[in-house]
Amino acid sequence: MLLSGELNPRYQHCVTLYRNGLICEADSLGSQGYVYLAIYPTPQSIA
């Protein structure tokens, strides 16, 4: 995502990926170089 330019650290943007029962969210929050990641199970895989 970073190499393709999909997430630019200068502008707020969020990308969500779904794979193998997990959700991964990457968000730059417009924070000048930081990317925040959150990984958690999908609602179906919790039960």
Domain ranges of the chain: 14-46
| Residues lower than pLDDT 70 in the chain | 1-9, 45-47
The pLDDT score that the predictor gives to residue 38 is: 94
**37 and 24 in contact (C-beta within 8 Å)?**
yes
Cα–Cα distance measured from residue 29 to residue 31, given in angstroms and rounded to the nearest whole number: 5
| Polymer length in residues for the chain | 47
The pLDDT score that the predictor gives to residue 8 is: 67
CA 12 to chain centre: 12
pTM as predicted: 0.65
